[in-house]
Amino acid sequence: MQSPDREPLVLKRLLQDLWSACTESVPFQGEQFLFVADAIIANPAAVAHIHCAEALGIPVHIMSTNPCRPTTSYRHPNTTILRSNIHFRVNNFRSYFLVDSMGKRGGLGQVIDTFREHTLKLPPLHPSGVLAAMDKRRIPTTHLYSARLLPRALD
């Protein structure tokens, strides 16, 4: 695990690497060929996916081996709520927004906004976060696990 003071540096590199993967020329038989992605297929951990797709005006499709869209059936896989007076289904749903908001802690939100503004020439991300942006853009998500392993969410 990265130390908190290194997280912004790691995030900057991750954002830049995905942008490069979407737009950089590629060498082929000694020549450089212009490459620009037609679509992005990404894991939720590749945090630049929605931003790069927005800048390029291309579709993005999320593929995940874990639940990654808000649901009352399952909590976000990166959270654990041990005790609460709130019904577990409400906690499950809220856990996705908790993880989304954690991306803004420690200056990480500023790193993303700087990337959007300086590299992608986009406005800063709306304060409602990535989940709201994904819903607004109707980003499709494919969950790559069997319904026998984890039954389909009811919502």
Q: Each residue of 77-92: pLDDT tens digit?
A: 888 776 677 788 888 8
Asked if the model's pLDDT at residue 53 lies above 90, the reply is yes
Q: Are strands 31-33 and 40-42 parallel, antiparallel or unpaired?
A: unpaired
pLDDT tens-digit map of 130-143 = 777 777 888 898 98
Whole-number Å distance between alpha carbons of 123 and 154: 35
Contact 69, 58 (CB under 8 A): no
Residue 128, token pair as written in the block: 């409602």
Bridge partners for 55 per DSSP? none
pTM for this structure? 0.78
